């Protein structure tokens, strides 16, 4: 007897399905009881001190007063992180140093917090310095100016989001305010991407002006990310003007240059201006801060070797606070109750059940579980063992709690190599914008990513299901829903669909598209073929789609909003026909579901209550010759009655182009069968 497992949130809930009985989905409004055995997942998105104050502990249903350092353990992977248990004005709380590592979603560090252990590691207490004769009164500070306005997947890795292009406006003027600046030179760090590459050398030129004075003329050549520094005169009091200018005076016929970011480094006085202040220790034995507000003052120092120490400090008679330090220390200081909290601190959603029996893993935000119940019931009735888990459970059980594709990949590997996982369904949208995943209302589930020759960075569900040798293990699909209503539409269409031999082959008029369509017709004779007579193709195509459910296979030009340079179908055709249709589009870009500002036709069609039930297509750009081996393997598997996810898996395994393999995805249920078994 197969079953479905619905894995709950804090106290892990296991519900079995027997026969065709559907499991009730966990309620979206669950009263959470702290599970001290599982603990909490704590995430930080920048380096620095983090404070879990008394109010946070009380919000977890715990009184922090009787707790002590020996009751608390904070870990990062296998490493125990030193912590301080300090008394603030509102009660005791936990102070630790959080460290973020750059990644696809931006910098992030994941920690596991547990109670009632004896392996806690106490942070070394730092010392205050009473009125030292030698002390540091200024520090080096850096202000990063950056706006992530434009997404360019062909940009160098880690610089996909850019500020502006100098082709749009040849000059950019920035106003720079340097807090508590002292008289000293200022250093600019500039990072730009020279996209164009011409035979002329050099083919990029940027001129830098500071307060009206030319301070740098910088040239470089080719398609390259360029980062350099320039020293500028002492800052003015108040605001300073920084101008970046592209003169356009190279001999290159085309010059395309993008600004990524600018860093401004200056010397600032150790004066409190709000929040928690930071500094870098010089050669002086102590650093002294002035103007600290009323309240319990704490500081935290991290040495060059990564050792952290911290504690509470007293003010001297003049209200100054001094801290003993070593050269190169990074320090933070402020009122304890105002210290920054972790970016995320939530109950750890570990999985306490044996998932290795799963044939089918569904990863979906908890609010989507009720809408998925009918699909789970149907797949269980077909003999599949189904596990439904939240993304957080996957992050916590197979990673460090950090949201991202790595934990999903680890879950697939574990469930396939040690069990018998066949299908993975991701429920939720994804985005190339790393900021989207951190929004409180986000219903996103991460995808994998790959680098292709034409488009550059591209979404790749293929990347989520690879073994150590790079071979795909299981079939994967996605319901790119952003609301419960959209998900219900996808589930309803999936359950309405019945396998059918009704097939239409559609192609553009270029010879390579016609040739591929001829080969596909030999695999299975279609009941209709369109594209040879372009005058009436769209009319005849819509008539065919509206007549009855079927499978549409297309070969030709494509983009996010359009199939065919003749506009056979567009993004606006969502809901233009009723009967559910399976679409396989051997084209470019049509299945790109991660574009941060533009809705692709595959997403629009899937989200509509009518029309398309499943869509196989690319997130990137590849040529027909690169797709052909994968196309034929997919079509043969489909005709043989394979589930659509298995058919794409067969296509991946037969692919002779890595770019095509990594960029073709399935939007839909991987267990859906498009055509009947012969």
Of 60, 235, 46, 260, nearest to 172 by C-alpha is 260
Q: Please, which residues have CB within 8 angstroms of residue 471's CB and are 6 or more apart in sequence?
A: 653
Predicted local confidence at residue 18, as pLDDT: 26
Using the predicted structure, report yes or no on whether residue 23 has a pLDDT greater than 70. no
Predicted local confidence at residue 489, as pLDDT: 98
Q: Please, which residues have CB within 8 angstroms of residue 322's CB and are 6 or more apart in sequence?
A: 128, 129, 130, 131, 132, 135, 286, 287, 288, 289, 313, 316
Predicted local confidence at residue 29, as pLDDT: 29
Task: Give the model confidence (pLDDT) of 617-631 as tens digits.
Answer: 999 999 999 999 999
Q: Which two tokens stand for residue 537?
A: 């193709």
Q: Stretch 454-464: mean pLDDT, rounded?
A: 96
- Shared-domain flag, residues 12 and 61: no
CATH number of the domain enclosing 578: 3.40.50.1460
Q: Is 480 a member of any domain? A: no
Using the predicted structure, report yes or no on whether residue 243 has a pLDDT greater than 70. yes
Q: Is 336 a member of any domain? A: yes
- Shared-domain flag, residues 630 and 567: yes
Q: Is the Cα torsion angle 75, 38, 389, 433 positive or negative in sign? A: negative
- Shared-domain flag, residues 144 and 239: yes
Using the predicted structure, report yes or no on whether residue 12 has a pLDDT greater than 60. no
Chosen domain end from 269, 298, 313 = 269
Chosen domain end from 243, 269, 295 = 269
Task: Give the model confidence (pLDDT) of 73-86 as tens digits.
Answer: 999 998 999 999 99
- Shared-domain flag, residues 520 and 649: yes
Predicted local confidence at residue 126, as pLDDT: 86
Going by their DSSP bridges, the two strands 581-586 and 550-555 should be labelled as: parallel
Of 393, 401, 390, nearest to 368 by C-alpha is 390
Q: Please, which residues have CB within 8 angstroms of residue 485's CB and are 6 or more apart in sequence?
A: none
3-state helix vs strand vs coil in the chain, percent to 5: 20, 35, 45
Core vs surface per residue 15-47: b (16+ CB within 10 A) or e: bebeeeebbebbeeeeeeebbeebbbbbbbeeb
Domain holding 575, by residue range, is 496-667
- Shared-domain flag, residues 407 and 371: yes
- Shared-domain flag, residues 663 and 551: yes
Predicted local confidence at residue 356, as pLDDT: 81
Q: Which two tokens stand for residue 605?
A: 């069609």
Q: Is 71 a member of any domain? A: yes
Going by their DSSP bridges, the two strands 171-177 and 239-245 should be labelled as: antiparallel
- Shared-domain flag, residues 319 and 461: no
Task: Give the model confidence (pLDDT) of 169-208 as tens digits.
Answer: 899 999 999 989 987 789 999 999 999 999 999 999 999 9
Q: Is 75 a member of any domain? A: yes
- Shared-domain flag, residues 262 and 185: yes
Predicted local confidence at residue 385, as pLDDT: 95
Cα–Cα distance measured from residue 113 to residue 346, given in angstroms and rounded to the nearest whole number: 10
Question: Which DSSP string do the residues of 172-219 spell out, in sequence order?
Answer: EEEEEE-TTB-SS-EEEEEEEEE----SSS--EEEEEEETTEEEEEEE
- Shared-domain flag, residues 511 and 653: yes
Q: Stretch 402-414: mean pLDDT, rounded?
A: 95
Task: Give the model confidence (pLDDT) of 97-121 as tens digits.
Answer: 999 999 988 999 999 999 977 667 7
Other beta carbons within 10 Å of 615: 28
Using the predicted structure, report yes or no on whether residue 255 has a pLDDT greater than 70. yes
- Shared-domain flag, residues 90 and 147: no
Domain count, the chain: 4
Q: Is 477 a member of any domain? A: no
Task: Give the model confidence (pLDDT) of 531-579 as tens digits.
Answer: 977 789 999 999 999 999 999 999 999 999 999 988 999 999 999 999 8
CATH number of the domain enclosing 224: 2.60.120.260
Predicted local confidence at residue 191, as pLDDT: 98
- Shared-domain flag, residues 602 and 552: yes
- How far does CA 665 lie from the centroid of its chain? 17
Predicted local confidence at residue 7, as pLDDT: 61
Mean pLDDT value across the chain: 91
Using the predicted structure, report yes or no on whether residue 509 has a pLDDT greater than 60. yes
Using the predicted structure, report yes or no on whether residue 16 has a pLDDT greater than 50. no
Q: Which two tokens stand for residue 103?
A: 């990644």
Q: Is 233 a member of any domain? A: yes
Q: Is 615 a member of any domain? A: yes
Task: Give the model confidence (pLDDT) of 158-167 as tens digits.
Answer: 899 999 999 9
Long-range CB contacts (within 8 A, 24+) of 75-79: 75/111, 75/112, 75/114, 76/109, 76/110, 76/111, 76/112, 76/400, 77/400
- Report residue 640's pLDDT band, with 50, 70 and 90 as the boundaries: very high
Predicted local confidence at residue 353, as pLDDT: 61
Q: Is 166 a member of any domain? A: yes
Q: If residue 150 lies in a helix (H) or strand (E), which one and from where to where? A: strand 150-151
- Report residue 2's pLDDT band, with 50, 70 and 90 as the boundaries: low
- Shared-domain flag, residues 528 and 574: yes
Residue with the larger pLDDT of the pair 357 and 4: 357
- Residue pair 391/363 in contact (Cβ under 8 Å)? The answer is yes
Predicted local confidence at residue 25, as pLDDT: 36
Q: Is the Cα torsion angle 622, 625, 630, 632 positive or negative in sign? A: positive
Predicted local confidence at residue 30, as pLDDT: 27
- Residue pair 194/223 in contact (Cβ under 8 Å)? The answer is yes
Cα–Cα distance measured from residue 589 to residue 578, given in angstroms and rounded to the nearest whole number: 25
Overall size of the chain counted in residues: 678
């Amino acid at each position: 007897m197969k079953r479905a497992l619905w894995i709950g949130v804090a106290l892990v809930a296991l519900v079995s399905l027997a026969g065709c009985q559907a499991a009730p989905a966990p309620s979206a409004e669950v009263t959470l009881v702290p599970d001290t055995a599982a603990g909490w997942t704590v995430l930080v998105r920048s380096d620095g001190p983090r404070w879990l104050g008394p109010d946070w502990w009380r919000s977890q249903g715990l009184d922090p007063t009787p707790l002590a350092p020996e009751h608390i353990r904070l870990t990062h992977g296998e490493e125990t992180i030193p912590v301080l248990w300090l008394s603030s004005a509102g009660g005791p709380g936990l102070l630790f140093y959080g460290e973020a590592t750059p990644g696809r979603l931006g910098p992030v560090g994941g920690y596991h917090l547990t109670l009632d252990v004896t392996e806690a590691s106490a942070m070394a207490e730092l010392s205050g310095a009473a009125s030292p004769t030698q002390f540091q009164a200024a520090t080096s500070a850096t202000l990063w100016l950056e706006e992530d306005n434009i997404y360019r997947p062909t940009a160098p890795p880690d610089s996909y989001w850019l500020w502006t292009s100098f082709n749009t406006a040849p000059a950019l003027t920035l106003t720079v305010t340097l807090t508590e600046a002292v008289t000293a030179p200022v250093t600019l760090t500039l990072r730009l991407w020279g996209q164009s590459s011409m035979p002329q050398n050099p083919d990029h030129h940027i001129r830098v002006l500071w307060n009206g004075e030319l301070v740098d003329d910088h040239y470089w050549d080719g398609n390259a990310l360029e980062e350099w520094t320039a020293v500028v005169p002492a800052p003015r009091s108040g605001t300073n003007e920084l101008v970046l200018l592209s003169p356009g005076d190279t001999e290159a016929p085309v010059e395309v240059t993008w600004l990524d970011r600018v860093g401004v480094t200056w010397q600032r006085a150790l004066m409190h201006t709000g929040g928690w202040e930071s500094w870098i220790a010089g050669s002086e034995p102590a650093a002294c801060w002035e103007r600290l507000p009323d309240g319990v003052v704490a500081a935290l120092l991290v040495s060059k070797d990564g050792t952290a120490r911290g504690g509470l400090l007293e003010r001297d008679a003049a209200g100054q606070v001094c801290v003993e330090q070593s050269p190169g220390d990074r320090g933070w200081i402020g009122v304890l109750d105002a210290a920054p909290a972790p970016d995320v601190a939530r109950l750890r959603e570990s999985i306490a059940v044996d998932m290795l029996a799963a044939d089918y893993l569904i990863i979906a935000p908890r609010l989507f579980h009720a809408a998925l119940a009918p699909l789970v019931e149907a797949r269980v009735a077909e003999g599949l063992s189904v596990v439904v888990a939240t993304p957080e459970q996957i992050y916590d059980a197979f990673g460090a709690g950090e949201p991202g594709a790595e934990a999903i990949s680890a879950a697939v590997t574990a469930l396939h190599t040690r069990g018998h996982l066949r299908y993975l369904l991701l429920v939720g949208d994804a985005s190339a914008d790393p900021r989207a995943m951190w929004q409180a209302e986000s219903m996103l589930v991460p995808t994998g990513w790959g680098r292709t020759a034409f488009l550059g960075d591209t979404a790749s569900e293929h990347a989520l299901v690879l073994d150590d040798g790079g071979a795909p293990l299981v079939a994967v699909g996605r319901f790119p829903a952003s609301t419960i209503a959209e998900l219900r539409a996808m589930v309803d269409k999936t359950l309405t669909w019945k396998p059918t031999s009704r097939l239409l082959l559609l192609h553009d008029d270029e010879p390579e598209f016609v040739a591929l369509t001829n080969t596909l017709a030999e695999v299975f004779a279609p009941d209709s073929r369109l594209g040879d007579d372009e005058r009436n193709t769209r009319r005849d195509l819509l008539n065919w789609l509206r007549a009855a459910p079927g499978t549409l296979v297309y070969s030709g030009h494509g983009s996010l909003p359009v199939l065919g340079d003749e506009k056979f179908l567009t993004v606006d055709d969502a809901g233009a026909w009723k009967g559910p249709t399976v679409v396989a589009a051997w084209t470019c870009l049509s299945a790109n579901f991660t574009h941060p500002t533009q809705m692709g036709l595959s997403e629009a069609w899937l989200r509509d209550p009518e029309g398309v039930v499943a869509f196989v297509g690319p997130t990137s750009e590849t040529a027909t010759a690169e797709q052909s081996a994968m196309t034929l393997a997919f079509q043969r598997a489909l005709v043989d009655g394979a589930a659509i996810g298995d058919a794409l898996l067969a296509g991946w395994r037969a692919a002779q182009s890595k770019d095509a393999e990594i960029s073709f995805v399935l939007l839909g249920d991987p267990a859906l069968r498009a055509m009947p078994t012969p």
